[in-house]
Amino acid sequence: MAEMFARRMGTVHRSFIREILKVTANPEIISFAGGLPNPELFPVAAMGKAAHEVFSNIGASALQYSTTEGDAGLRAIIARRYRENRGLVVDPDSILITTGSQQILDIVAKVFIDQGDKVVIERPGYLGAIQAFSLFEPEFVTVSLEPDGPNLDELEAAFRDGAKCFYSVPNFQNPSGVSYSLAKRKGVAELLDRYDVLFIEDDPYGELRFMGEDLPSIYSFCNKPGILCGSFSKIAAPGFRIGWLVAGQAAYDKLVIAKQAADLHTSTVAQAIMRRYLETNDIESHVALIRERYGYQRGVMVEMIRQYFPSCVTIIEPEGGMFLWATMPEGFSSMDLFDVAIKDKVAFVPGRPFYVDGTGENTMRLNFSNSDEARIEAGIKRLGKSIEAFLE
């Protein structure tokens, strides 16, 4: 069988995080490794009511095949929210509903990436994008992510060197928690105007800001059409697998073809329930609730880290999202620390898989969205001990 696999499968492996999650299934382990939203905040009753209404009101049409572009009502709601919440004018006909925002990465890669094309990503970069893009065999070019966003000199050098596209997560990036400053956003947009590089702006966490000011999307500064990606996974629930992209006409037409070949269309049932939920509930209050809770959990984690981590471990304090990034002194391996920490019954994700260049050995990602105050306190205390023992 092995000799039958396509060449592209040669360099792709199961997600490292996936393998970690198996180890952390033991309930005695306090895990900051996953990337799950807090299920206590899922609007279960409201979704149940929406589902009931969908089956009562529209019945069979919620169960039938539907258009590749996605439910028109749902796309109108997404466009309205962009306008009202972000001041961004988006034509509903430029919105394509996708099976989670992960699917966007797959179809964008399929439509744009030839083998060997230079794809610019942040360093560290989002693992789901690295996985999806890798199957189309690009050459990854990484740009340092500084606390206020990408290093613009490196970015321009990459653009000058013939980059095909730039994949960016400007708000509370996974894994680093970094958010681009206004100046960096404008700087990126200015570079995009000068070079023929496709811009892919992924924004699953943008509405989860706990502190600081909301900043405009880079997309809004660009004069050329890019691809803007969104998702209901972090503001409603991930189990629906509903994301969306916004694209210019030429790209949109090709992306529809790729989407149709990939799965015909996103679940009609899931779209209908989500639409009904959005029509009959105040999602803005719900998002405010998530922001408040995650902001609190983030605060507890930062506080506990100050208390229990040795001072040589530095962190990036995120202004939103779900992740916090920690860096040990040079020369220490978070992969090795992981083994120590698991014995102390606490888990995190070692940073190396987020670096396609094999660096990042001394970094780690900690998730704060899926643990309550008590577990964060106990877990960070354990991890602080593990780190101290490990560094000695």
E strands, the chain, in order: 30-31, 95-99, 118-123, 139-146, 149-150, 165-168, 198-202, 227-231, 242-247, 314-316, 323-327, 346-347, 349-350, 363-367
Selected binder of a copy of itself within 18, 83, 306, 343 (CB under 8 A): 18
For a copy of itself, the closer CB: 169 or 326: 169
> At closest approach, how far in Å is the CB of 231 from a copy of itself?
11
Instruction: Please state whether the peptide bond connecting residue 27 to the residue before it is cis, i.e. omega within 30 degrees of 0.
Output: no
Q: Assess contact for 92 and 77: CB atoms under 8 A.
A: no
- Interface residue with a copy of itself, options 132, 158, 229, 342 (CB under 8 A): 132
Question: Binding residue for a copy of itself (CB under 8 A) from 25, 27, 40, 358?
Answer: 40
Residue among 191, 208, 229, 270 that touches a copy of itself (CB under 8 A): 270
Structure tokens at 144: 């340092």
> Residues 14-21: contacts with CB within 8 Å, 24+ apart?
15/127, 15/131, 15/353, 16/127, 16/349, 16/353, 17/127, 17/349, 17/353, 20/338, 20/347, 20/349
- What the block records as the tokens of 53 is 């209404």
Contacts of 214 (CB under 8 A, 6+ apart): 86
Choose the binding region for a copy of itself from 101-109, 140-148, 331-339, 342-350 (rule: CB under 8 A). Answer: 101-109
The least distance separating a copy of itself from the CB of residue 4, rounded to whole angstroms, comes to 6
Query: Contact between 51 and a copy of itself (CB under 8 A)?
Result: yes
Spatial distance between the Cα atoms of 92 and 71, rounded to a whole number of angstroms: 10
Q: What are residue 367's DSSP bridge partners?
A: 323
> Nearer Cβ to a copy of itself, position 74 or 305?
74
Using CB under 8 A as the binding rule, the residues of this chain from 282 to 321 that contact a copy of itself are: none
Nearer to a copy of itself, 362 or 369 (CB): 369
Residues 324/317, Cβ–Cβ less than 8 Å: yes
Site for a copy of itself in 250-269 (CB under 8 A): 250-251, 253-254, 256-258, 260-269
CB 362 → a copy of itself: shortest distance, Å? 27
Q: Which of residues 109-128 bind a copy of itself (CB under 8 A)?
A: 110-114, 117, 128
Looking at the Cβ atoms of 169 and 304, the one nearer to a copy of itself is 169
Binders of a copy of itself among residues 135 to 154 (CB under 8 A) are: 135-136
39 binds a copy of itself (CB under 8 A): yes
Residues 196-235 that bind a copy of itself (CB under 8 A): 196, 198, 225, 233
Separation between Cα atoms, residue 16 and residue 128, nearest integer Å: 11
